[in-house]
Amino acid sequence: MRGPRLLLWITALLPALLVLAFDTLSRREIFIARAGPPIGGYIGGAALSLALWGLGLEAARHPRLAVRVAALVLLGLTAAFGIGGQLLFHTTAHEYFNRDAVIFSINLLPIILDYLLQNPVANGVVVGGAATLAVSYAIFRHRRAGPRRRFANVAAVLGLAACLFTAFGPFRVPAQKHGLPPDVLFWHAAGGLGLYAIGVIPKPKTLPPGQHVAPPQSVRPVSKDAPSIVLIFGESVRRDEVCAFKSADCDKSPRLDAAAPERIGFARSFAVASCTEVSSAILWSGLPITASTEAIQAAPLLWDYARSRGYRTAYLTSQNLAFQDQGLFLRTSQIDEKREARDRMKHADLDIGSPDEQSAAEALAFLAKDGPGFVVLHFSNTHLPYRQVPGMTPNQGQGDGADARRARYLNSLVFQDATIGDFLDQLRKTERGKKAIVIYSADHGEAWGEHDSFTHTFDLYAEQINVPLWVDAPEGTLSDTQRAELSVAAAARPVFTPDVSATVLDLLGALDDPGCAEPAKKLAGASVLRPAPVQRDMEISNCPPFRGCFPEAWGLVRWPLKHHFIGRELQSVCSNLETDPAETSPVSPAACADLRASILARYPPRPDRSYPPAPTGASPPAPTGATPAVPSAMVSATPSASASAVPSGSAETVPAGTR
């Protein structure tokens, strides 16, 4: 290989050329549509990729061993994470990681490590194999071509400069839109970590420390014999993997069916986000997903309303509240008894937390005390990597990929069913427990590739936000009118996380308490014990003002239409949830033009392949077809007093992602 200089340059640039060819082919739709990465920025990134590999391989021929080793380390890191790591990330998120993703993931490092350890051999082969190939190629090339003597120092210095410029250069827009090759995105992300370490880049936004203002004590508190209220909040439970109500068509919740055969289950229940801390904050506060940081920080939470009404309060959770600062968010709420995973286990897992059955036992002990109680029993064991309990693992997946993880997930639901069934059996054996009202919902669902993503947080498709909801209210705990409204709502009414909050407050008597009237005006939901509100807009989002996000995902539901922006794909989807609840057959984007216009009032513009820019001087396309009919279950001549959906034109502004 001591031959023509052209051959040397070809072999020096070959790795970069292969990376660029693969990248442009795999992302060709985005480039062709001109809806994503800016072409000029990508060309600059391609030049940097060529410089990184070309100068790095030339530096690996330097006469001095120390320089050669440094060049091999740079090439190995570029291949390991700029190629191997990016491929692994792309299989899950369907996009490459960039600086935004890395900075957002700082607080998620234990979860990321845990995910990688689910398939350590395969992941190690991809990352280590890429590094081994790159280093071996560089060594082979050096041995064949011999050391570089002319301009050796220049190549080494220029290679280092290219690396530093790639890490710290001003690529904000191209990097934000994934408009750089994967290896360049990696080094730019690595530079972001360095800038974060020295304080140039701020800490990722998490839930704010709580400064919750409780309503005044009620002048007419709840009676001493009032039923206790129990809210069970599941983790990563999708609606179609459990039985919301007892039915001959569903056998997925046998222990629950036996313990609560008369529960009322909902057919159309949704979370407003596909991540735990966002859904939790909305459930605890009842505010819209568009609430500002200041509003969510000061809002009274469910426990504050309960205490003002005279209930004893408890939050008993298996969650590790260190995650996303959830513990700090709850710190000023009036919770009489609060226990989380770290109170039971010194080094509680950040994902699975502590055993759910321990939380359930503590809830039973709390409810056995005198006086009506309000308790939130928050589970965690059904989160990835999904707790496996001996004797509760009927599902066995093949291999160690998605099939095996799905089997583990189903097994964790089997154990949760047993835990809830045991809890209800024990609860109903006590005098106070016989008339306790129990509500169950979940923070989000779990995806298994239905729309090219797995687990959750990557988008707001049905499998990630369709959650179960049921109410078990013993005879005599609800009025005939309330029970009738509940049954009607369960059959056809779309119910979202803030509606669950409003329903809990209704059961506590807070919605009719004058002392709670002012904060109740800010609620986004409506109690399912009252007539349905007139058709409304319910916004959904993984990117609220009070917490950063990656990837971006937001939308709006105006039943039965749903507009949903998927940031990882730079496109929107319009669905009719009544005719297509699984969102497998999108309708024309024009049908959601009005919804998109409403959502754009809150979010900054993003490239969107579903709505290409109109030609200069042209008007945007008008919506096609008539407005869908409003289901009768969604219309009432007298809207509920608790319904207070925030209009789309609110002055609040939602920042996108971590910006």
- Quick one: 52 and 127 in the same domain? yes
Cβ(499)–Cβ(528) under 8 Å?
A: yes
pLDDT at 365: 96
- Quick one: 181 and 245 in the same domain? no
- Quick one: 308 and 177 in the same domain? no
Judge whether 658 lies within some domain.
Answer: no
- Quick one: 419 and 491 in the same domain? yes
Judge whether 42 lies within some domain.
Answer: yes
Cβ(417)–Cβ(255) under 8 Å?
A: yes
- Of 96-105, 444-453, 464-473, 576-585, least confident by mean pLDDT is 96-105
Instruction: Quote the DSSP letter at residue 587.
Output: B
- Quick one: 235 and 280 in the same domain? yes
Alpha-helical regions (H) of 448-592: 462-465, 480-492, 497-508, 517-520
In terms of Cβ atoms closer than 10 Å to its own Cβ (0-12, 13-18, 19+), residue 428 is middle
Pairing of strands 373-378, 312-317: parallel
Give the whole-angstrom CA distance, residue 196 versus residue 201. Answer: 5
In terms of Cβ atoms closer than 10 Å to its own Cβ (0-12, 13-18, 19+), residue 259 is buried
How many angstroms separate the Cα of 416 from the Cα of each of 236, 320, 383?
11, 18, 11
Per the structure, the complete domain to which residue 165 belongs is given by 5-197
pLDDT at 654: 27
- Band of residue 621 on the pLDDT scale cut at 50, 70, 90: very low
Q: Which of 458, 452, 389 is nearest to 104 (CA)?
A: 458
Residue the block writes with tokens 């109170």: 343
- Which of residues 178, 197, 216 is at a domain's end? 197
Give the whole-angstrom CA distance, residue 354 versus residue 41. Answer: 47
ω before 355 within 30° of 0 (cis)?
no
Alpha-helical regions (H) of 390-429: 402-428
- Of 29-33, 167-171, 642-646, least confident by mean pLDDT is 642-646
Judge whether 299 lies within some domain.
Answer: yes
- Quick one: 188 and 236 in the same domain? no
- Band of residue 41 on the pLDDT scale cut at 50, 70, 90: confident
Tokens of 386: 């999904």
- Band of residue 525 on the pLDDT scale cut at 50, 70, 90: very high
- Quick one: 10 and 98 in the same domain? yes
pLDDT, tens digit (0-9, with 9 covering 90-100), for 256-300: 999 999 999 999 999 999 999 999 999 999 999 999 999 999 999
Give the whole-angstrom CA distance, residue 194 versus residue 160. Answer: 16
Give the whole-angstrom CA distance, residue 497 versus residue 503. Answer: 10
- Of 96-100, 162-166, 176-180, 487-491, least confident by mean pLDDT is 176-180
How big is the chain, counted in residues? 659
Judge whether 217 lies within some domain.
Answer: no
Give the whole-angstrom CA distance, residue 503 versus residue 658. Answer: 32
Give the whole-angstrom CA distance, residue 21 versus residue 353. Answer: 44
The residues near 539 (Cβ < 8 Å, ≥ 6 apart) are 272, 288, 289, 290, 554, 555, 556, 557, 599, 602, 646, 648
Q: Which of 457, 553, 497, 538 is nearest to 271 (CA)?
A: 497
Higher pLDDT, 654 or 298: 298
ω before 254 within 30° of 0 (cis)?
no
**Does the pLDDT of residue 111 top 60, yes or no?**
no
**Does the pLDDT of residue 426 top 60, yes or no?**
yes
Judge whether 205 lies within some domain.
Answer: no
- Quick one: 548 and 617 in the same domain? yes
- Quick one: 128 and 251 in the same domain? no
Give the whole-angstrom CA distance, residue 362 versus residue 375. Answer: 10
Average pLDDT, the chain: 87
Mean per-residue pLDDT for 18-32? 82
Cβ(78)–Cβ(134) under 8 Å?
A: yes
- Helices 65-79 and 39-59, packing angle to 10 deg: 140
As a 3-state breakdown, the chain gives helix, strand, coil percent values, each rounded to 5, of 45, 10, 45
Judge whether 645 lies within some domain.
Answer: no
Pairing of strands 312-317, 495-496: unpaired
Judge whether 533 lies within some domain.
Answer: yes
| Greatest C-alpha distance within the chain | 94
Cα four-point dihedral sign 315, 319, 324, 328: positive
Q: Which of 308, 298, 332 is nearest to 509 (CA)?
A: 308
- Quick one: 293 and 166 in the same domain? no
Domain count for the chain, please give it: 2
How many angstroms separate the Cα of 561 from the Cα of each of 267, 525, 588, 596?
17, 18, 11, 11
Phi, psi of 280 (to 5 degrees): -65, -45
CATH of the domain at 525: 3.40.720.10
Alpha-helical regions (H) of 27-119: 28-33, 39-59, 65-79, 86-93, 99-104, 109-117
Characterize 318-328 residue by residue with b for buried, 16 or more Cβ atoms within 10 angstroms of its Cβ, and e for exposed: bbbbbbbbbbe
Q: What is the share, in percent, of the chain residues with pLDDT greater than 90? A: 65
Give the whole-angstrom CA distance, residue 248 versus residue 263. Answer: 15
Mean per-residue pLDDT for 563-568? 92
- Quick one: 43 and 167 in the same domain? yes
Cβ(546)–Cβ(208) under 8 Å?
A: yes
pLDDT at 329: 93
Q: Which of 351, 495, 359 is nearest to 423 (CA)?
A: 359
Judge whether 543 lies within some domain.
Answer: yes
- Which of residues 149, 175, 197 is at a domain's end? 197
Q: Which of 154, 144, 149 is nearest to 8 (CA)?
A: 144
**Does the pLDDT of residue 473 top 50, yes or no?**
yes
Give the whole-angstrom CA distance, residue 295 versus residue 498. Answer: 15
Instruction: Quote the DSSP letter at residue 328.
Output: H
pLDDT at 43: 87
Cβ(124)–Cβ(117) under 8 Å?
A: no
Write out the E strands in 542-630.
553-558, 561-566, 571-576
- Quick one: 175 and 251 in the same domain? no
Give the whole-angstrom CA distance, residue 447 versus residue 460. Answer: 10
Residue the block writes with tokens 């707001």: 460
pLDDT at 206: 82
Give the whole-angstrom CA distance, residue 537 versus residue 554. Answer: 13
Amino acid code (one letter) for 512: D
- Which of residues 197, 214, 240 is at a domain's end? 197
